Structure 1
Amino acid sequence: MALFPLRGVLVEYGANILGPIPNIVIFQFNPENMTRTITIPPPPASASARPRVETHAAAAPPSERFEISAHFSAADDLGAGGAVSAIPRLFGVGPQIAALEKMVYPQSTPGGLIGAAIDAIGAALSGPGSTPPTQPVPRVPLPRILFIWGPSRVLPVTITSMSISEQKYDLLLNPVQAEVKIGMQVSSQAPTDDAIGEGAYKYTQMIKDTQATLNLAKVIEFAVDIIPF
């Protein structure tokens, strides 16, 4: 049986539940390369006053970033015919781009219009010269994203940058080809109510620990020649 290559996926999920999935983007073409940057935080500012043996202590665990370039094209679906080609004929690759953009903006709250109505009523009831009451602006959380790159990498991330290059257009000026450069920050310390993100991070770390152990088993074969004592 022929094996088909897996595709990278970005999944937006809610708190503690994976379904119903509000947003998901499958890479039409897997990126040919990916840049990973691991940043080691500097030691605490007061480390100079401590004994020398403690200067290697870190203020926080290392942080990890991913940078990828995802490519999208409407050509494959347009040639499929039938219902599969209906969406790209109307919008090109616009739906994929819109789904990615949705992963950047904070999740909307349903109380916007209600809050505005309450403010308007409060302003009408307040006396002349008094400051009308206003509703406090809540802190809107960013979308929670899982970056899935094969079975060994399932990571909670926050999208920190996105550069969209629309390259070709159809007669309705819909983009039919696009390249999206995405920067992601791994959320190593997930919020307490994010069971999915915490579980995904621990799972990926367990895979890394297993791979490091396998590497050690391989190195032992050459230890006699490498270590002179």
Structure 2
Amino acid sequence: MSAFPRSPRLLKGALIGMDPANPLASVIVFQYNPERMTRRLDARTTRGGTGGDAAGARAEPFRLTGAPRETITLNVEIDAADQLEKADPLATASGISPTLSALEMLLYPKSAVVVANTVLAELGFTEIIPPQAPLTVFVWGPQRVLPVRLSGFTITEEAYDTALNPLLAKVDLTLDVLSYSDLKRSDPGYTLFLAHQIAKEISATANVTRAAQNLAPFLKNV
């Protein structure tokens, strides 16, 4: 039986490593959307200085120096059961290893760059620039597309096939959101976050009507 034709289409979260040299290598679409996501925001303020700076901070305690620091934590489950039921050849041969590898590559420098830097070191070059990771974007619906730094994650593998390929895993992700306070103006993530903030400001103004309705009974008694 086909699904109800008017049922809403389920959007899935994703992590995307924007690497122009290999655009599809680090695209991880969540197989199942996590049921819970924890977000922590810390204001960037002028507080915390010493000496004259501390005095200035006390004079302007509400001064913001940039967008808040935001950390997102969530748990993602990866399961090969559906693919194995359909006899998917990739899942049959490798389980969920390709998905885990794509996720892990967000933390690895490219091997070609490592080899090139090794050659330069052998030739006597002393100033070798460390490789830069591609811009990582966290996608959680159309209104939350954020540049992030994947600071670390924990993989718990729970089942294997006969070749010891993982078939089921849970991944605990920690994402540091990168704002215009962290990025250069020339970085695509700078504009991406700014657009996110503008959309958030528009969403916040939509709350004005609701707030006014909630305050109306109290204002009548004033």
Taking structure 1 as the reference length, what is the TM-score of the superposition? 0.82
In the alignment, the residues of structure 2 paired with residue 40 and residue 167 of structure 1 have an alpha-carbon distance, to the nearest angstrom, of 38
What is the distance in 2 between the residues matched to 1:101 and 1:225? 54
Select 2:166's aligned residue among 175, 178, 181.
175
Corresponding residue number in structure 2 for 1:11: 16
User: Shift of the alpha carbon at 1:188?
Assistant: 0.5
SS in 1 for 2:33: coil
- How far 1:166 sits from its partner (Å)? 0.4
1:128 counterpart residue number: none
Amino acid at match of 1:164: I
Unaligned regions of 5+ residues in structure 2, if any?
none
Structure 1 unaligned regions, length at least 5: 123-132
| 1:113-172 Cα shifts (integer Å, max 9, x gaps) | 45544554x5xxxxxxxxxx3342212212311100011100000101110000001100
Work out the CA distance in 2 between the residues paired with 1:30 and 1:215. 27
Residue 180 of structure 1 deviates from its aligned partner by: 0.5
In the alignment, the residues of structure 1 paired with residue 186 and residue 196 of structure 2 have an alpha-carbon distance, to the nearest angstrom, of: 19
- Which of 172, 194, 198 is matched with 2:190 structurally? 198
Give the Cα–Cα distance (whole angstroms) in 1 for the partners of residues 174 and 42 of structure 2.
14
> Offset at 1:39?
1.5
Residue aligning to 1:225: 217
| Change in CA separation of 1:135 and 1:7 when aligned onto 2, cut-off 3 Å | same
- Pick from 169, 177, 185 the counterpart of residue 186 of structure 1: 177
The alpha-carbon distance between structure 1 residues 148 and 92, as it changes in their structure 2 partners (threshold 3 A), is: same
> SS of 2:216's equivalent?
helix
How is 1:137-216 mapped onto 2 (pairs within 5 angstroms)? Answer: 137-189=128-180, 190-195=183-188, 197-216=189-208
Report the alpha carbon displacement of residue 51 of structure 1 after superposing the two structures with TM. Answer: 7.7
- Equivalenced residue count is 211
Deviation at 1:13, TM superposition (A): 0.6
Q: Which residue of 1 aligns with 2:69?
A: 63
Letter in 1 for 2:187: D
TM-score, normalised to structure 2, is: 0.84
- What SS does the aligned partner of 1:207 have? helix
Tell me the equivalent position of 1:129.
none
- Measured in 2, the distance between the counterparts of 1:106 and 1:69 equals 24
Letter in 2 for 1:193: S
Rate the CA distance shift 1:98–1:56 in 2: closer, same or farther, 3 A.
same
Structure 1 residue 41 displacement after superposition: 3.9
The letter for the 2-side match of 1:10 is: L
**Structure 2 CA distance for aligned equivalents of residues 71 and 117 of structure 1:** 40
Q: How does 1:96-135 map to 2 (within 5 A)?
A: 96-110=99-113, 112-117=114-119, 120=122, 133-135=124-126
In the TM superposition, what is the alpha-carbon distance from 1:107 to its structure 2 partner? 4.2
> Structure 1 residue 220: deviation in Å?
1.3
Contact 2:17 2:134 in 1 (8 A): yes
Q: In the TM superposition, what are the counterparts of 1:14-93 in structure 2 within 5 Å?
A: 14=19, 20-41=23-44, 43-46=47-50, 47-50=53-56, 52-81=58-87, 85-93=88-96
Q: CA RMSD in A?
A: 2.4
**Which structure carries more strand by proportion?**
2
